[in-house]
Amino acid sequence: MGLTATARAIPGTLRQEIVIDGQHRLITDEPVRLGGDASGPAPHELLPAALAGCIGTTLAQYARTKGWDLAGVTVDVDYDHKATPRRFDVSIRIGAALDDEQRERLEKVARSCPVRRALEGQFEFVEEIEPHAALGGRVVVTPGGRS
């Protein structure tokens, strides 16, 4: 596999310290109404954030290769996590004036961001539950058998 995210519980809280590929750290938490401290985004809030960031980055990279000054890009993603199927409403604002050809091309580029492609695809989950010696033999869920 290519990317690993590891979540470790912060004792006494609902917070999780997440380490991505051993390099980047972030903290998730739950809202107060669910027993958290609201000290970070809830895990499901990272999904629309990842999509918004991916679209924005993909557009910026494409514009750079074309030598286009977009004069700023803002991507809003409204994620309805209660709908079935789940729904993302994406709004992209470009600061520069675009002709029809540029706008159409950027729409296509936005739809090609890797996070969107992953969300549109199928997923397979492989999970095991096994004792983890470092946690005193308690049972933990480890995707793909990793601990």
pLDDT digits (tens, 9 = 90+) for 28-56: 999 999 999 999 999 999 999 999 999 99
When the pLDDT of each residue in the chain is averaged and rounded to a whole number, the result is 90
Residue 1 has a pLDDT of 60
Chain-centre distance for alpha carbon 71: 25
Give whole-number Cα distances, 83 to 31, 48, 78, 89, 117, in Å: 20, 14, 12, 12, 20
Contacts of 132 (CB under 8 A, 6+ apart): 138, 139, 140, 142, 147
What is the pLDDT averaged over residues 59-72?
Answer: 96
Helix H or strand E segment including 106: helix 100-111
